[in-house]
C-alpha cells in the first residue's frame, strides 16, 4: 500500500481556518489525478482541492463540515488500491459542530456524479440529502441553492438526531433535518435553524464593523442617462463585433467614478489609525451577487482599462461568482466600490462602505421620469446616484462635488475623453 496525503491548500494570512463542504469521493472509490475531491469554504472564497495522485480514496481524515487549517491532512489516497476495497470510516472532525458531523455521512455525494454548488451542498447536508437525490437545474446539471431549498427532506428516521413524534400526526407536518435540534410545532408553523456560512458571517461582521467605525453619510443626485444610452445604442453592434463582448452601463459608471476620484483624491483614500492613506492607483470593487452571498471582486488599475477591458472583466467576475470560482486575488484590496442595485430593480438605497475604503457609489434602475428643462416638462431616463462616504475624512464639499463630477461625466461622456 502506497499512501498519499490530501492536505488543505495554503490559506492566506488573513484566513485562520476554513470549513470542509462535501466530499465528492467516498472511501473505496477510484480517484483520478487532479480530480476535485472536496471544496473548502473560507470567509472569502471557496477553494477546490484536487487529488494529488490517482488511486483509491483510502479514508476521510476529516468529515464534511469539519474545521481545518492550512496544510492539515484531510484524507489519504492509496495509489495501489483497487476500487471497492474495504473503506476506512471517516474520522469525526475534532473542531466541527456535533450536528455537522452527524449530517456528514448523509451529505456525501452519490454515485451518479451529481455536483452541488457550495451553498447547496451545505443545505443538502443539513437536510440529510445527497446531491444525487435532487434534480439540478444549474449548468451541467449542478444542484443550485434554489434546488436544495426546494428539495424535501428524508424521513425523520434517517436523521442522526431523533425527532420526537408529533402528538397529532394528522395536523403536524414533519420538519426537514437541520443542523440544530428541531422542536416540532403542532400549529403547523415550522422553523428551521441553519448556521451562517463563513462568508455570510464575514459579511455580517464587516457590515457591523463599517457601521460602528465609520461616520457614514450619504449624498444623492440624479443623472440623465440619455447620452450614455444613445452612445451605447450607436456603437453596440460595432463594439461587440470588435471586442466580442456587449457594452453595458457598468463600464460607464466605472469610468465616471475614476474620473471623479482623480479630481477628488480623498474619495479614493482610506483611514489607518490616525493617518489618511492616499492611493495613487484606482482599484474599483464591483459588488456581485453569488449563490453564497455578496462578493466584491476588484478591477485593478481601472484607470488604465478600456471599456472593453472593463466589460470583459466584469463578465468574468460574474461567471466566477456564479460557479464559486472567485479566488482570494480577485477579492483582495480595493480603494473604492460600486454597488448596482438597479440590476434587481432598486430605485434608491444608501450603500454601506466596504472597509477600509472611505466611499462607495450606489447606482440604481434607470426609469423614465418627468423632468423640467428650460421651463418645459420632458421625459428623461433618470438614474438616482447615491454615494456614502466616511465623514471622518471626507467633507460634504468633496463628496457632493465628487458625485456631481460623476453625474457630469455620464451626462456628457465626451468629458471622459478629454478628462474635463
Q: Which residues pair with 271 in a beta bridge?
A: 276
Q: Report CA-CA distances (Å) from 293 to 7, 196, 298, 373.
A: 27, 11, 16, 42
Cis amide bond preceding 356, omega within 30: yes
For residue 136, the SS3 value is: coil
- To which H or E segment does residue 200 belong? helix 198-213
Cell representation of residue 160:
442522526
Residue 404 burial (CB count, 10 A) = 16
Based on the residue annotation, tell me whether 259 is a catalytic residue of this protein. no
Report which DSSP code applies to 87: P
First to last CA, the chain: 71
Please pick, among 279, 303, 309, 391, the residue that the annotation labels catalytic. 391
Q: Are 231 and 207 in contact (CB under 8 A)?
A: no
Please pick, among 230, 237, 395, 412, the residue that the annotation labels catalytic. 395
Based on the residue annotation, tell me whether 279 is a catalytic residue of this protein. no
CB neighbours of 321 closer than 8 A, spacing ≥ 6?
A: 288, 289, 290, 295, 297
Catalytic residues: 391, 395
Amino acid at each position: 500500500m502506497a499512501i498519499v496525503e490530501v492536505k488543505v491548500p495554503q490559506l492566506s494570512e488573513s484566513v485562520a481556518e476554513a470549513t470542509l463542504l462535501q466530499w465528492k469521493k467516498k472511501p473505496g472509490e477510484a480517484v483520478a489525478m487532479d480530480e476535485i475531491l472536496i471544496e473548502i469554504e473560507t470567509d472569502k472564497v471557496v477553494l477546490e482541492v484536487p487529488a494529488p495522485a490517482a488511486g483509491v480514496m483510502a479514508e476521510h481524515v476529516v468529515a464534511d463540515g469539519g474545521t481545518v487549517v492550512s496544510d492539515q491532512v484531510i484524507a489519504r489516497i492509496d495509489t495501489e488500491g483497487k476500487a471497492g476495497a474495504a473503506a476506512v470510516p471517516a474520522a469525526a472532525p475534532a473542531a466541527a459542530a456535533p450536528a455537522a458531523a452527524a449530517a456528514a455521512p448523509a451529505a456525501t455525494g452519490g454515485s451518479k456524479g451529481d455536483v452541488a454548488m457550495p451553498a447547496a451542498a451545505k443545505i443538502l447536508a443539513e437536510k440529510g440529502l445527497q446531491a444525487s437525490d435532487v434534480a439540478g437545474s444549474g449548468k451541467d446539471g449542478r444542484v443550485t441553492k434554489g434546488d436544495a431549498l426546494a428539495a424535501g427532506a428524508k424521513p425523520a428516521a434517517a436523521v442522526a438526531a431523533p425527532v420526537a413524534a408529533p402528538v397529532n400526526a394528522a395536523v403536524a407536518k414533519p420538519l426537514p433535518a437541520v443542523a440544530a435540534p428541531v422542536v416540532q410545532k403542532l400549529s403547523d408553523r415550522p422553523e428551521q435553524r441553519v448556521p451562517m456560512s463563513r462568508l455570510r458571517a464575514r459579511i455580517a461582521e464587516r457590515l457591523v464593523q463599517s457601521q460602528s467605525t465609520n461616520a457614514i453619510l450619504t449624498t444623492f443626485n440624479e443623472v440623465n442617462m440619455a447620452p450614455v444610452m444613445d452612445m451605447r445604442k450607436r456603437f453596440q453592434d460595432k463594439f461587440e463585433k470588435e471586442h466580442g463582448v456587449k457594452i453595458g452601463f457598468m463600464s460607464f459608471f466605472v469610468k465616471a467614478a475614476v474620473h471623479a476620484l482623480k479630481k477628488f483624491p480623498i474619495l479614493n483614500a482610506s483611514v489607518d489609525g490616525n493617518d489618511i492613506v492616499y492611493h495613487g492607483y484606482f482599484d474599483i470593487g464591483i459588488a456581485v451577487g453569488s449563490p453564497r452571498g455578496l462578493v466584491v471582486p476588484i478591477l485593478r488599475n481601472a484607470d488604465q482599462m478600456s471599456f472593453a477591458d472593463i466589460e470583459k472583466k466584469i463578465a468574468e467576475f460574474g461567471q466566477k461568482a456564479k460557479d464559486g470560482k472567485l479566488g482570494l486575488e480577485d477579492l483582495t484590496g480595493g480603494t473604492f466600490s460600486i454597488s448596482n442595485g438597479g440590476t434587481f430593480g432598486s430605485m434608491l438605497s444608501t450603500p454601506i462602505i466596504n472597509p477600509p475604503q472611505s466611499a462607495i457609489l450606489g447606482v440604481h434602475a434607470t426609469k423614465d421620469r418627468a423632468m423640467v428643462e428650460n421651463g418645459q416638462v420632458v421625459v428623461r431616463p433618470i438614474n438616482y446616484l447615491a454615494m456614502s462616504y466616511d465623514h471622518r475624512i471626507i467633507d460634504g464639499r468633496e463628496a457632493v462635488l465628487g458625485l456631481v463630477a460623476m453625474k457630469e461625466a455620464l451626462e456628457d461622456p465626451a468629458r471622459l475623453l478629454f478628462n474635463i
